Structure 1
Amino acid sequence: MKREYQRRHSRWYEVLLLSLTFHLVVGMSLALLLPSLERWGWGFWHYMPDVRSNTLIAIGLAFTASALTLRRMSRFPGAQLGANIMPTVSIAFLLVVAVLFFTREGYTRQVMLSGYLVSLAWFYMGYFLGRRFRKLKFAVVPFGDASRLSGNANVDLRVLETPEMKGLRVDGVVADLRAQDLPPEWEKFLATCTLCHIPVYHHRQISETISGRVQIDHLSENEFGSLLPPLFYVGFKRVMDFLGAVILLPFLLPVLLGVALLIKRDSPGPVFFMQPRVGYRGRSFNMFKFRSMYHDMSGKDFTLSGKDPRITPLGRILRRYRLDELPQIFNVLRGEMSFIGPRPESESLSEWYEKDVPFFSYRHVVRPGITGWAQVEQGYAAEVEGMKRKLQYDFYYIKHCSLWLDVLIVLKTVRILCTGFGAR
């Protein structure tokens, strides 16, 4: 007898409510119409001077950018969509306002502000109403390594007892496709799921979705081709890094000068600390940092202990809020670093890690960053076991390197700057 299984969210009204097109059409219409009617009244479209058209185009672009960014970011582990709505929408509207300001194009501030508030209300309403739909639900085939998976707040795993759904609707089925003990009836079950358009995932794919890490136990388990970052985005990112550093530098110069004066007053020694680090494609470079330790005081085991006596009182504050990393904007300008990427390690630590950590040098396939996926998810790691876990995060970033993941890392970094997470 042929079984028919139904995928979760496959009914027409579920497809409609969860589709990006629906949110763009209905949400953007509200963000454009409500402020326009309140400010210009009915029939405003009969008279559309440049000020009005500029305002409406800007609101439409900001709403679209916000919707796309939030939708793409929600696919990554630990995205915390509710916490990202306000900064994402705010940044999108600030960017379009900045473009209008620098191009000297007119716009209506009241309508722009109202469009921003309506957009916020729409995205928050969608977040609260769709919380239960956003949580992924997978059926797990209880053989091999798949049975070891455990869910979290964003992923619900249902372990199957028999090779049938029994009315259960899921987003996909998880199985260890290399399990040697998978019975024929379970193989037939997986084939039936595929015929019913229910995707079947290897357990490692879902493990990445849950943990945000790529397992690196054996080379055969990861094709290096799948870990290569998109070359187009690597080039685009370098251009954006350079432009971003040029724009930020005038604003950061007063801060850099102020921190430098405080360091000179705090303890004797140079303002900057430069250390050779291993960077893009394994090339060495000197990374700039504000000095946060007493001058001429060394000790390689201090970072592995609880409290490092080499760090000055001011240095603890600089490290907690990552202010000691600010001079690395000059490394970004020189093309040695990016704003986002795996943190560069010293040459001595790199040699140490390469002896114990498999594929450590592969992290050099992208430019090192001031902040990165491992830093926002794990924090600082010095010991080998911690570095293995950090490397799994770095590989996840390399595999999923994209604008959307970079935006998520930026938002997480801003929150970390306010909490001091991962400081050492």
Structure 2
Amino acid sequence: MLVREWEDLPDAIKKESVRKYYNTLNKKRLSLLNKRVFDIILAILIFIILSPIFIIISIAIKIDSKGPIMFRQVRVTQYGKQFKIFKFRTMVKDAEQLGGQITTKNDSRVTRVGKILRKLRLDEIPQLFNIIAGDMSFVGTRPEVVKYVEKYSDEMMATLLLPAGVTSKASIHYKDEEKLLVNANDVDEIYLKDILPKKMKYNLRGIEEFSFLGEIRIMFGTVLAVTKKERSRERNF
């Protein structure tokens, strides 16, 4: 995983408040290389193993509602690069035109199959393609849409020193983010002023404490969090 020289960073990222995070990562080049090799190998293996499920989900989406199988949206990753994230479509066609880019609990735009995919986080499976391409990693700051990145503070820009991730400590702690926005009059305002800054504290601390083994623990923690959440729902039911 390439660490650019400080002088070669985009001006938007080359801030003094970012330098300490850069220095931390610059000392861990070998761990970052291991992280990239691990990402590629694991992503390919998981795709091979889950390919039958991939086909079943694709068929279910097409039967359930009109629209494409994949949802693609422009997000921002390492060094401010824009890319299109892959997800299984969980909402009705043209959902963004009907209600914005953030989903709340009981959002009427979510399809029947989409509810199941979101609950089990199976909608994230196609991001294996993003990982193989190098735009994402298994662990890292979740990629935001451009309009939210434009609102980042100088320090928050440090999260763009690494590729965006499928999961992170912030993702685990905010796995029920949709519930926090259910009664919000202005979803964007609540997200930018309240939720995003809190998530960024976890993300920035993750850079300071970065280690390859630490990221493996986060991956296991994500699986446990999703499993625990599902078991809790079954008990309540």
Fold shared per TM-score above 0.5: yes
Q: Does residue 1:390 correspond to 2:186, yes or no?
A: no
Q: C-alpha displacement at 1:309, in angstroms?
A: 1.5
Q: How far apart, CA to CA, are the structure 1 residues paired with 2:57 and 2:201?
A: 34
**Structure 2: distance between partners of 1:411 and 1:248:** 15
Q: Could you say if the C-alpha distance between residues 361 and 415 of structure 1 is closer, same or farther in structure 2, counting changes exceeding 3 Å?
A: same
The equivalent residue for 1:350 is 149
- Specify whether residues 420 and 321 from structure 1 end up closer, same or farther in structure 2 by C-alpha distance, changes over 3 A only: farther
Structure 1 303/334 Cα, relative in aligned 2: closer, same or farther at 3 Å? Answer: closer
State the distance in 1 between where 2:137 and 2:154 align.
Answer: 24
CA deviation string 1:121-154 (max 9, x = no partner) = xxxxxxxxxxxxxxxxxxxxxxxxxxxxxxxxxx
CA 1:220/1:289 → structure 2, altered by over 3 Å: closer, same or farther? Answer: closer
Deviation string 1:345-391 (CA, Å, 9 cap, x unpaired) is 1112222x32xx44222211111111112111233376021100101
Tell me the TM-score normalised to structure 2 length: 0.76
Residue aligned with 2:75, SS? strand
* Partner Cα separation in structure 1 for residue 46 and residue 21 of structure 2: 35
CA deviation map 1:301-336 (0-9, x unaligned): 573754321111211111111100000001111111
What 5-or-longer segments of structure 2 have no aligned partner?
A: 1-15, 179-187, 231-237
Match of 2:109 in 1: 310
**Other-structure match for 1:417:** 226
Contact between 2:136 and 2:164, CA under 8 Å: does it hold in 1?
yes
Deviations 1:43-62 (A, max 9, x none): xxxxxxxxxxxxxxxxxxxx
1:359: which partner in 2?
155
Q: Provide Cα deviations, 1:263-319, integer angstroms capped at 9, x if missing partner.
A: 011101100011111011110111100000000232445737543211112111111
TM-score normalised per structure 1: 0.44
* Distance of 2:67 and 2:201 partners within structure 1: 37
Contact 1:226-1:399 at 8 Å conserved across structures: no
Q: CA deviation at 1:228?
A: 3.0
Change (3 A) 1:258 1:400: same
Identity percentage over the alignment? Answer: 31
Q: Which residue of 2 aligns with 1:285?
A: 83
- The alignment partner of 2:126 has SS state of helix
Contact persistence 2:156–2:204 (CA under 8 A): no
CA distance in 2, matches of 1:377, 1:405: 16
Report how many residues are paired. Answer: 200
Match of 2:67 in 1: 269
Shift in CA distance, 268/221, structure 1 to aligned 2, threshold 3 Å: closer
Q: 1:233 aligns with which of 31, 45, 62?
A: 31
Over the residues paired in the alignment, what is the CA RMSD in angstroms? 2.3
Alpha carbons of structure 1 residues 223 and 316: separation in structure 2 relative to 1, 3 Å = same
Relative contact order, CA 8 A, sep 6+: which one is greater? 2
Alpha carbons of structure 1 residues 329 and 305: separation in structure 2 relative to 1, 3 Å: closer
Deviation at 1:247, TM superposition (A): 1.8
2: CA distance, partners of 1:412 / 1:237: 17
Quote how far apart the aligned CAs of 1:411 are: 1.5
CA–CA distance in 2 between the matches of 1:266 and 1:369?
Answer: 29
- Measured in 1, the distance between the counterparts of 2:135 and 2:115 equals 26
- Aligned 8 A contact 1:374 1:390 in 2: yes
Where 1:415 maps in the other structure, the secondary structure is helix
Task: Give the Cα separation in 2 of the matches to 1:302 and 1:398.
Answer: 27
- The answer to whether the 8 Å contact 2:68/2:89 transfers is yes
Correspondences of 1:3-402 after superposition (within 5 Å): 223-225=20-22, 227-228=24-25, 230-297=28-95, 298-301=97-100, 303=102, 305-351=104-150, 353-354=151-152, 357-379=153-175, 380=177, 383-384=191-192, 385-402=194-211
Write the distance in 1 (CA, Å) between the matches of 2:201 and 2:98: 28
SS of 2:84's equivalent in the other structure is strand
1:319 alignment partner AA: R
> Please, which of 206, 217, 237 is the counterpart of residue 408 of structure 1?
217
Q: Which has the larger radius of gyration?
A: 1
Distance 1:292 1:220, change over 3 A: closer
C-alpha distance 322-301 of structure 1, shift in aligned 2 (>3 A): same
Q: Secondary structure at the match of 1:362?
A: helix
